[in-house]
Amino acid sequence: MNQKTILIVDDDAHVRKILGLTIGRAGYKTQTATNGMEALALIRSHPPNLLITDIEMPRMSGKELCLTIARELPDRDFLIILMTSVVERDASSWLQEVGQAEFMEKPLSPKKIIERLGSYFRATA
Amino acid sequence: MKLKTMKKLTPLFQLLLASLLLALLLASGGQWFLRQSTLGPNQAERPQELLAFAAPEFNLPQQAQTLSLLTLFSFLLLGTCHLLHAHKQAKIAARLLAWIEKTLADTATEAESTAPIPGFPEEISKQLRILLTTPDEKNITIGGGQAALPITQKISLYTKKRFELIFEEFPDGIMLLNESAEATYANSKIEIILGKSKSEVIGHKFHDWSQEEVLTDFFSRFQNIQSRLRRKKELLFSPSYLPERTLSVGAYPVENRDNNTFLGTLVLFRDVSAEALAKQARGDFVSHVSHELKSPLNVLKMYSELLLNADGNDKEIERDAANVISDEVERLSLLINNLLSISKIELGSISLVRQRVKVVDLLSDAFQTIARSGLEERLSFKLDLPQELSPLSLDKELFRVAINNLLTNAIKYNRPQGKVTLAAEENDAQIIISVKDTGLGIAAGEQEHIFEKFYRSESAEVRDKPGHGLGLALAKNIVELHHGKLKLESTLGEGSTFAIVFDKGSTLVQEGL
């Protein structure tokens, strides 16, 4: 079975570490980035199978990252999960523009993240 | 009084008494006649009552009424004297009449004087006096033109003027629309709000003077509006010609409830920019706080779940998780304390507990405590204090928080093997406490924001370090609460110096001495 690559983007080192550990233990390959700019560089060279990103980050926010991906990779086929403190009221409008993206509200449960990854990859298999 | 007694009285006195009685009789009859004669069916249209209704603060002088009565009496007396050939008495009566006429003329002149009516500007007072003292149907010059105005119209004009003056003093824009949504009145504030002159607005429909589509759409609802739709409506918008402002428009349909007729719409324009900014600031604050609280909670949740599911085989990860949980709890606790302190200071609900403090001792103590936490980074620490400093009147606990925040930052944003210096000096004018580091420094463009709540540099090196962007904001608030200033000198890549400056003339220093 091809190992799926999950890209984790968050400026908090603890979050990158625990998600990397949890997702890695679930059998996935992980990459990490500290902000949107770094993530974009990785995506351009090696698009992941799924992207998990924080929204509030320096240099490029999660929202800016998603909109840039939607613009540069209109045919992308990977899901984007946005980790958010509060779901913005007007988020649905730009989320539709991004396509194939959903919110997960903090505090996150690693167990629920693994379950979501599993259900997504089973559905797209 | 008996007839016999009356006959004993002197002829002159008899004349005086008879004339007075006749005058009183005629005056009473005259008043009755005045009350009965009306200009219209409505009782309120009688001249005197009209005046009282329109200008309750403006009454005809009582003196003039008394003199009028005496005039009547004097005429009667004079006439009676001539009839009875009482020539000597007639001369006295004539002199009395002349005096009364002169006094009446003076009173009329005084009434027509240019002394202003209280509460009205001089020009308006003049016009009002003309209105009130001009007899009915006489041509008057008013507003640059001549017109014959019956008394009701004069009063109506006066009342209208009064209300217009009140509306002009209103701080907001006021407009009246008729049933066709055409402006029939606008005060001067409208010119600033709509960017149009009053002459361009009054007498014109809304689509002639409305420059904003949202405003045109709003006013279109008040054109020939049906009774069931006559409700107050409100709109908030930022005009394209005043993009930094937020305006509130409230439209209130006005109806005559007695006969259910629609009279028009009262429109109020208010500049609510300050309220909008405050609301935005509150919203931003809540959003920031929510993010800052949820981030450590996120870490706590994930690591605690890891520990709960641990099988005991990976001790290193479990120990790491426990340490992270402990650190995040401390970080969360510090955040909440900082937030509470800042909120209390900004709300003014914090009260300083001042005492005479030996500054050298306080600084030394803070330095020793904080310096221990920087040892892992292999930093070197220097304490550069004079033997003595003038004592200051400080809230020791609170001031310690400010010093701790500055020292913590100096350690956090430093480089390996960097340097932290805590220094103090005193001269004739000032006491200066400074914290210097050889760390990352702050870019020139960011220095003006560095003391704002939740502000953190965009630099990846800064973002890699934990922080909420509240430490410097709180330190600044505390220093300013003590009537000091917190200053910054910094060069990107070389380091920063934060200086707390106290003016020796301030009570802070004086009370400490």
Residues 6 or more apart whose CB falls under 8 angstroms from that of A53 comprise A7, A8, A9, A10, A36, A39, A62, A65, A66, A80, A81, A82, A83
Between B479 and B30, whose confidence is greater? B479
One-letter identity of residue B57: E
Cα A101 from chain centre: 9
Six-digit token string for A57: 């980050």
Are the C-beta atoms of residues B306 and A22 closer than 8 Å to each other? yes
Residues 6 or more apart whose CB falls under 8 angstroms from that of B496 comprise B410, B413, B436, B437, B439, B441, B442, B488, B489, B490
The answer to which of B200-204, B284-288, B378-382, B489-493 has the lowest mean pLDDT is B284-288
Instruction: Compute the count of residue pairs across chains A and B with CB atoms less than 8 Å apart.
Output: 70
SS3 B210: coil
User: Which of B103-117, B251-265, B340-354, B441-455 has maximum average pLDDT?
Assistant: B441-455
B309 touches A: beta carbon within 8 Å: yes
CA B104/CA B71 separation, integer angstroms: 9
pLDDT score for B37: 45
A37 touches B: beta carbon within 8 Å: no
Min Cα distance B271 → chain A (Å) is 26
CA A6/CA B360 separation, integer angstroms: 55
HSE-up of B314 (CA within 13 Å, CB side)?
Answer: 13
Q: A21 and B317: CB-CB below 8 Å?
A: yes
Mean pLDDT, chain B, whole residue set: 78
pLDDT score for B89: 67
B298 touches A: beta carbon within 8 Å: yes
Between B444 and B69, whose confidence is greater? B444
A8-24 mean pLDDT: 92
pLDDT in tens, B173-220: 999 988 888 899 999 999 888 888 989 999 998 888 888 888 888 888
**Does B387 have pLDDT greater than 80?**
yes
Between A106 and B375, whose confidence is greater? A106
**Does B50 have pLDDT greater than 50?**
no
B327-353 mean pLDDT: 85
**Does B355 have pLDDT greater than 80?**
yes
ipTM of the complex: 0.88
Measured in residues, chain A has a length of 125
Residues 6 or more apart whose CB falls under 8 angstroms from that of B41 comprise none
pLDDT band at A5 (very low <50, low <70, confident <90, very high): very high
**For B202-272, where are the alpha helices, taking DSSP H only?**
206-209, 213-220
Among B282, B279, B182, B276, smallest CA distance to B237 is for B276
pLDDT score for A42: 94
User: Which of B129-133, B221-225, B352-356, B369-373 has maximum average pLDDT?
Assistant: B352-356
pLDDT score for A50: 96
pLDDT score for B512: 55
Please indicate, yes or no, whether the overall pTM of this predicted structure exceeds 0.90: no
Torsion angle of C-alpha atoms B46, B47, B50, B54, degrees rounded to 10: 170
pLDDT score for B74: 66
B299 contact residues in A (CB cutoff 8 A): 12, 14-15, 18
pLDDT score for B28: 56
Six-digit token string for B80: 């009676």
B304 touches A: beta carbon within 8 Å: no
SS3 B337: helix
pLDDT score for A53: 95
Between B464 and B123, whose confidence is greater? B464
B459 contact residues in A (CB cutoff 8 A): 58
**Does A39 have pLDDT greater than 90?**
yes
B28-33 mean pLDDT: 52
pLDDT score for B65: 58
B291 contact residues in A (CB cutoff 8 A): 56, 85-86
Are the C-beta atoms of residues B291 and A56 closer than 8 Å to each other? yes
SS3 B204: coil
- Quote the DSSP letter at residue A125: -
B464 contact residues in A (CB cutoff 8 A): 11, 13, 34
A72 touches B: beta carbon within 8 Å: no
One-letter identity of residue B479: V
pLDDT band at B41 (very low <50, low <70, confident <90, very high): very low
A51-72 mean pLDDT: 90
**Count of Cβ atoms closer than 10 Å to residue A48 Cβ:** 22
**Does B36 have pLDDT greater than 90?**
no
CA A104/CA A95 separation, integer angstroms: 13
A108 contact residues in B (CB cutoff 8 A): 298, 301-302
Among B102, B153, B109, B147, smallest CA distance to B129 is for B109
**Does B63 have pLDDT greater than 80?**
no
Q: A110 and B460: CB-CB below 8 Å?
A: no
B319 touches A: beta carbon within 8 Å: no
Among B454, B495, B450, smallest CA distance to B476 is for B450
CB-nearest partner of A109 from B301, B321, B464: B301
Are the C-beta atoms of residues A51 and A39 closer than 8 Å to each other? yes
Between B223 and B500, whose confidence is greater? B500
The answer to which of B168-177, B321-330, B340-349 has the lowest mean pLDDT is B340-349
B294 touches A: beta carbon within 8 Å: yes
CA B45/CA B156 separation, integer angstroms: 11
Among B191, B271, B211, smallest CA distance to B236 is for B271
Name the residue of chain A whose CA is nearest to B467's CA: A12
